[in-house]
Each structure stands twice: as structure tokens, then as C-alpha cells.
Structure 1
Amino acid sequence: MNTTGTGEPIVIVGAGIAGMTAAFRLQQAGHPVRILEAEDRAGGRMRTVERRGYHMDLAAILLIENYTQMLNLVRDLGIEDTTLRTNNVVGIRRDGRVHHVRANKPTDLKSSGLLPWSSVPAMRRLQSDLNKFGSRLRWDSDMGEAASLDTETAAAYAERRLDKDFRDYVVDPMSAMFFNSPPDLSVVNFLFSMPAVNSEWFNFHDRVDTLTTALAARLPVETGAEVTLVEETSDGVRVHWSRAGEPDHVEEAAAAVVALPGPIAARLCPGMAPASRTYLENVPYVPDIHVYFGVDNKPSETATCVLFPTREHPDLGVITFNHNFAPGRAPQGHGLLTSYYRYPWAIRHWDSDDDKVVELTHEVHRQAWPELARHIEAHQDMAYVQRWKNAVILRKPGDYARLREFSRGLDPRSRIQLAGDYLAFSATNSSLVTGERAAVRVREVVTAGSVSVGRG
């Protein structure tokens, strides 16, 4: 067994956006840090893969200008020149036609023809609710204040406060952005997503992992390092990890931040209070399969993404036109498109091989958007399938109340702090914020020299 470390560093488990943000903020404050990442590269779900000149952002693709904390991080890294304001036109299919809405212009819902004029009162009621509840729906929140709103599904809210057209052609396709449908989704997710997209958008010129690559370049990241146990000791933390072909490693550290999906964090931290471990073990992630198509002739569609109500197709949720987000996603004159499904489709086809998934996606395109299907098949240059087992968290009514109780049960004095999307709204910026929050708590514990005895 190889024992390393002096007890001084703070170990970060996981080199996704939450973990690396925590490490960067701790490093800024003068603390030595060390990141252990099981994969062969850093980035987590904020990674980009290149094939034949196409840059495929694997999970995070849509970035909005009210991601204040992310923009602050970009500034602190000195990489502002890698970003630009981007197209924020969203398309929604209805009756075989794409209706275009600018994300920061909700009045486009009226002028686009997507909704009838009879839906104007529903729009006003929604805007009134957003004005009333907006202070409870913040990126820097642990969602505790939102728990009081978490009493019904998005479908039930639409029935109670909106109207049938609004339910079918706004609430339903917005739910597809969570790979879900309104009857399964907490109203909090829908309400949170409305002001979130009511904003200008930004992105990185060529690839979304510009941010995580910049972080990794400034931090000591140990890749291929699979952590097996994180335990608190009398004066610090002990981290056990392994790598193929090497003796097992044990590192003594001043503290640790575990920035991994909830069920994995529960397995690595057996000293956590039983109620906290049970919550983490049951964080309701849903899987996602999405399919990229590179085409040698850019489609004429101007939207960044087109949403599909269930009435238009029961399985297809969103097609993104990645080349419309920012330049550099596809070679000059080419296009890059990605098809995303509601999660039951991903469950049904999880074990299908990639060729079968591509074939099935072509068939779905023929059903949902025949003209685009013909274009993709005539000009296909590349296809790539990405699977995420823990894609997003399926929040049903009551889940945010349970999250509030879980958050209140965590010990802020513990030398093991958590970070990740399960601690807030399931989005990139929220994950980043949980990393910053964990860094603050770790700094306080290490600086005070305190040791938590009763975790949770």
C-alpha cells in the first residue's frame, strides 16, 4: 500500500464543473488542492468530443447570461475572449410547422402563431406567478425556498393556472428539456425554466469544454484515479483510491469535497448519517441517449433548438442545431444536429448498439419532421451516440421538500463536504454554485481547525 500526502492538501473527488470550481476557489484562497478523477480526462458532463472536425458538447450546451456565477468564473480565469453572445431563437413544432420564439421575448409566444389569442390570459397568469415566486427560484439557492411551491406536477399547474394550448405547446415541450413529461415533473422545474430561458444566451466560440479545460490547466488533476473510500479522521480526512497497474493509494488530507453523483457519493462516504446516505442512494437520476449528426450541407433552420410536444411525437424531445449556438461546432458550411429523447425511450433502447440507435433515430426523424429527415440522410457525414446513465434528476412533487430536509441535515462543520447537481436545480450553473458553496464551508472548517464528530 502506498501512502502519500502530508495532510495539508484539500482533496477534491471528481473533476466535473462542481469539483473543479471548488478546487479553483480553494486554490485562489491559498489552499493546496489535489483532484482525483476516475475518467481519463477532466470535465465531467461539461466535455466536448471531436470527430471529423465536428465539436460535440456532450451534455452542457445551452448557457444563459443569468448564469452569473459561471460568467464570474470565466472572468476570474481570464478567458472572456473565448465567449460570445449567441442566437437564442427556440423553435416549437405544432401541426408540422416550426414556430419561432426568442428566449428573451416571451411576447413572441403571441406573435409566432404557436398559441391562439385566447391564451393571452394564461400568459398573464404565468407572468404574475413568475413575478411573485421569482425570488425563490435562484441559481445560488439550495432550493429550500422553492420547496413551498413543490406541491403539484407541471401538468396539474397547467390545468389549474393556464389553458390547454399552453399546456400542450409550452409546458409539455419545456418538460422535454428535462427528458421528461409534465405529469412526472414538479412544477418547480417548469417555473424555474421559464425565467431561466427568458434571457440572452452566451456560449464558447468552439466548444463548451473551454471552461473545464481552462480549469484543468490551472489545477493538479490526477486522472484514472478511482476513489473507493473517503473517511473523516480525528484531524483530517483519509482518501483511498486505486489506478490500474498500481498499488492502492491512501492520502491524508485536511478536508475533502466529494463532487460526484449522489448514489456514488453515498457509497464513498459510509460515515455519513444514515438518513443522508439513504437520500443520496435514491437521488432519482434518469438516463439519456442522444444522437449527433454531422451533415455536409447546413440546414436552413435558424433556431438553436426545436422542441417537440408529445402531440408532435411521443418520444422525441428536442433537436438542437449546434452550429447555430456558436461557430466552431461544425466545419464551414456544414451542420451539427443532436436529437434528444424523453427518458422512457432511453430506458427502452439502453442496451441497443450504436448503429441500431442511429437507425431508430432516422425513423423517428421521418415521423416527426420528414423534411429534416431527408436532409440529414442525404447529407450525413458523421453520426455519434452519447449515453449518460445519470443525465438529469427527475424531480417529482415533494422532491424539493426532501432536498431541503437533506440539506438541513448536512453538517457544515464536517471535513467532508458535498457538491453536485443533486444539491440544487439540476443544471450546469447550479452544479458550479454547489462547488463554490462547498469550498466556502471547507475553508471555514480548515481555517478554524474544527473537526466534526456527529456527521449529519
Structure 2
Amino acid sequence: MAKILVIGAGPAGCTAAYRLQQRGHIVQVLEAATVPGGRTYTLEKDGFLIDTAAIFTMSTYHRTWALLRELALESRLQPWHAHTQLVEGDRRFSLRYDQPLSNLLLPCVSLADKFKIIKAGIAALLEPSLNAFNGDDLASIDNGENLEDWARCTLGNTAYEYVVKPNHDMLYALPPCLLSPAFQRATMQAAWGFSLAVPSSGMGTLCRALSEQLDLYVNHPVTQIEYRRHQGVSVHCAGQNADFQGDALIVATDAHSAATLLQGQVDDSLIDTLSQTPYIEYAQTTMTYTQDPWPDETNSMLVPVGKNFHPVNALVLHSKRNPASVPKGAQSLGFYYNSQALTGSSDAELIDLARRYRDRLLGAVAVAPDFEQVFRYKRGLTVPAPGHYRNMTTVSSRLPPRLALAGDYFAHAGIEAAVIAGERAANEVAKCF
């Protein structure tokens, strides 16, 4: 039995700590914020459950759903039948965001491109099975090409504009020309039978449940690490003037914070790779209404499309996404921004932008929201540029014993990638004892 320290209480850190505790190790988790969860945090406000970043899980989240089953929380997963409209000027095209094959019914996608999509889907099924949330699998097909070039060549221009780009705008808030196509290629294998689900108690459900079983210290930002290869590790939290000692350490923060903490403790080349990991700011605005001004709206998501730049990637009606997240008869709107719209924008300017898109997409009403707030994360999403997955695989393979990293930056920015990274880090550390 060993004593292991974990820095960070998001999905990666909580998962790693939970798995190590199951093996009989003593685990202490240190979290800088006042609550666990990271970007999965759910704010409870006046009867509303406000998911501050992540808003759904996928049927391909096998490890996440397995954890929820272990914790007897699977029954809280409610399907999200994501009726969606793509909005291009006065034209609107309907599809199901939770059913990728419904893209083949879009009239704005050319017949030739629909055949290309089918051909690419069949080809994906014939390839070796890939886990879209496993960094090693993604690294194996990360050949340096960018997503836009790959999609236009493989799927066609209309498929790119109306299928690939809107989907990845929602997931990454970045132009596809900056992304690797590896995640898209891997997810195509799971298009058949794909679905979405949302925990009725909010996206923070998993971390809340895990943290209740852990020795968790919130409001404990770590400021210094001393790693001794054969003598354990020491961690200092300056704000609390507290020191923690352990036999091993898992750093489950973002890549930049990990680089800062591990400076002088690991090879400089690993620090350089981590510190150069590209991130973008992530932000969304939530508006709540105690009485729904749009009771006849049947869609749960509205997505602006077309070749022009759209500062808002999607508007989500949360009463449709997760009915349990709003009081009866109420509505909660979420506006998800393109990262390029955030540069130099104040919260007030982002709220004004959200209001304009609300009026454009849903129709103007005289009723003001009861609550409006912007939720911003400075390092919100990793940018998986071409070569990113190979870089992360190299970092993971070169860490010294009894020291591991965990975070969704090893693969796709999301809960499943974080859970997989947490389990992997726990396994690597456990091997040493």
C-alpha cells in the first residue's frame, strides 16, 4: 500500500484517485478551486442546473458510463434527442445531432458528397478499431494533415460546410483548418447506433459522486513540487501553508499548469512540449427564464451555418436537452461562442452578442431573462493540431517512475478522454508498488 497525491479534482484526477483507492492505496486529492469538477461543474441557481461547459455524454463514452454504473448512477443518464436546425440566412435545415446518419438527409449537401460520406464511412468500418478518446489510437492516424483539407478532399465541399464544420465548431470552437482529422476519422466508426445522454442531475454528477468517496482538499492550489526519484514526492500549497508527502504523484491539471509545476523535476524537453500545448479560451453564456418565452419551439439546438464567420456556434435550449435542469414551465438558453469572438471581448459584450443571436434564431420577445452570466475558462480547450497526439504520447512514455500526468489534453477535449487518462495514470503509478 502506497500514499499517492493527486493534483486536480476534475474528471481525470477524480477518476485516477478513485481507481487507486480501489486498489487499497491511500490517496489525497488537492484542488485549487472551491469545488471539484473543473469544466464539468454544474451550478445550482434558483432551481436551475447550469452546466458551465460540458453539456452531454456520447454513447462512445464507454469508460465514463462504466464509472456511472459502478456508482449506481446510470439511471440518471437521460437520452438527449437533439432535434437541431442549421440556420443559413432565411433557410433552415433539420437534422438530429444525436444521429450522425441524419446528415445524409440534408438537402444542402450534394448527392455526390452524400455518396462520399457513405464511402468514407464504409472505409472507416474496414479499418482497425480505434478509440476516439485514446491518445495512442489517435496518434496512430495523426499524419500531419488538417481537418479541413481532409474533409474537403474525402467528403466534399458541401459535406464540409454543412456537416463537418458545424459539428466541430460546436465541439472545438475553432476553425477545422487548425485541427487534426484523427478524431473525426475515429468517430466515423461509431456513427451507426450513436446517441447522446445527459445526467439529469447535471454534468457535474460524476465528479461530485467520486469526490464524496475521496480525501479531497479544495481551495488548495499547489505552488511547488519536489520529486525525488527514489524517495517520494513533496507538494506545497502556499495559500494554505500546507505540505503533503507521498510515495507517488499524479498531476491532473491542464498541460500548462503541469509544465509550471514540474519545472526542474523532469526533462526539459517534456516541459517544453507541455508548455507549448496550444489552448484556446472557452466561453458560454447562460440565460434563464422562469416562464419559457418560446413554449412552441420544438428544436433543442440552433446552429448558424454558411461561409460567413459566426461568433456564436450554437444556441441550446436546455429544457429540451435536460428537462430536469429547469423548473416546470421554465427555460434556460446556452450560447456557445467561437473562440475567435472572445479575443478582447468583455462579458457585457458577449451577453449583448448572445441577445442578438437569441432574437435572430428564436425571435425577439419583450421578456428579459431572470439571470444572465458568462462562464469563461482561460484554458478551456486543447487545440489538437496535426502532430498533437504524437507529442502527448511521447510525453507520457518518457515520464519517470511514480509520476504520471492525466488530462483530456492527451486526446479529445472531453470527459471520456479525461476518464481514460485518469485510469491510465492510475495504472502506471500502481505498477510501481
The TM-score normalised by the length of structure 1 is 0.87
Q: How does 1:114-193 map to 2 (within 5 A)?
A: 114-133=108-127, 135-139=129-133, 141-177=134-170, 178-193=172-187
SS at 1:378's partner residue?
coil
Task: Return the offset for 1:179.
Answer: 0.4
Task: Return the offset for 1:91.
Answer: 3.2
C-alpha distance in 2 between matches for 1:106 and 1:203: 18
Residue 390 of structure 1 aligns to which amino acid in structure 2? R
> What does residue 362 of structure 2 align with?
372
2:403 counterpart of 1:410: no
C-alpha distance in 2 between matches for 1:249 and 1:83: 39
C-alpha distance in 1 between matches for 2:81 and 2:98: 11
Task: Return the offset for 1:310.
Answer: 4.5
Task: Return the offset for 1:111.
Answer: 2.7
Task: Return the offset for 1:416.
Answer: 1.6
C-alpha distance in 1 between matches for 2:268 and 2:424: 23
C-alpha distance in 1 between matches for 2:183 and 2:343: 22
Q: Is the 8 A contact 2:82 2:97 kept in 1?
A: yes
What per-residue deviation string (whole Å, max 9, x for no partner) do you get for residues 225-268 of structure 1? 1111222223211111133xx4x222211111110000101111
SS at 2:141's partner residue?
helix
What per-residue deviation string (whole Å, max 9, x for no partner) do you get for residues 201-241 of structure 1? 22211311121111111111111111112222232111111
2:412 counterpart of 1:425: yes
Q: Is the 8 A contact 1:189 1:395 kept in 2?
A: no
> What does residue 207 of structure 1 align with?
202
Task: Return the offset for 1:157.
Answer: 1.1
What per-residue deviation string (whole Å, max 9, x for no partner) do you get for residues 49-72 of structure 1? 122322110111111122110111
> Could you tell me the percent identity over the aligned residues?
25
C-alpha distance in 1 between matches for 2:92 and 2:197: 23
Q: Name which of 18, 28, 33 aligns with 1:34.
A: 28
Seen in structure 2, the aligned counterparts of structure 1 residues 261 and 206 have a Cα distance that, compared at 3 Å, is: same
Q: How many residues align?
A: 427
- Unmatched 5+ stretches in structure 2: none
Task: Return the offset for 1:196.
Answer: 6.0
Task: Return the offset for 1:420.
Answer: 0.5
Task: Return the offset for 1:371.
Answer: 4.8
C-alpha distance in 2 between matches for 1:28 and 1:318: 40
Seen in structure 2, the aligned counterparts of structure 1 residues 105 and 42 have a Cα distance that, compared at 3 Å, is: closer
Task: Return the offset for 1:95.
Answer: 4.3
Q: How does 1:47-446 map to 2 (within 5 A)?
A: 47-103=41-97, 105-133=99-127, 135-139=129-133, 141-177=134-170, 178-195=172-189, 199-233=194-228, 234-243=230-239, 246=240, 248-270=241-263, 271-295=265-289, 296-297=291-292, 299=294, 300-311=296-307, 313-349=309-345, 352=346, 354-366=347-359, 370-375=360-365, 378=367, 380-411=369-400, 414-445=401-432
Seen in structure 2, the aligned counterparts of structure 1 residues 196 and 14 have a Cα distance that, compared at 3 Å, is: farther
Seen in structure 2, the aligned counterparts of structure 1 residues 193 and 373 have a Cα distance that, compared at 3 Å, is: farther
> What does residue 453 of structure 1 align with?
none
Seen in structure 2, the aligned counterparts of structure 1 residues 147 and 309 have a Cα distance that, compared at 3 Å, is: farther
Residue 307 of structure 1 aligns to which amino acid in structure 2? V
Seen in structure 2, the aligned counterparts of structure 1 residues 307 and 77 have a Cα distance that, compared at 3 Å, is: same
C-alpha distance in 2 between matches for 1:389 and 1:274: 25
Of 107-116 and 263-272, the range deviating more from structure 2: 107-116
C-alpha distance in 2 between matches for 1:294 and 1:276: 44
C-alpha distance in 2 between matches for 1:347 and 1:192: 31
C-alpha distance in 1 between matches for 2:143 and 2:302: 28
What per-residue deviation string (whole Å, max 9, x for no partner) do you get for residues 375-419 of structure 1? 4x63523211100111111122222232333333334xx112110
Q: Is the 8 A contact 2:138 2:411 kept in 1?
A: no
- Unmatched 5+ stretches in structure 1: 1-6, 448-456
RMSD: 2.2
Residue 355 of structure 1 aligns to which amino acid in structure 2? A
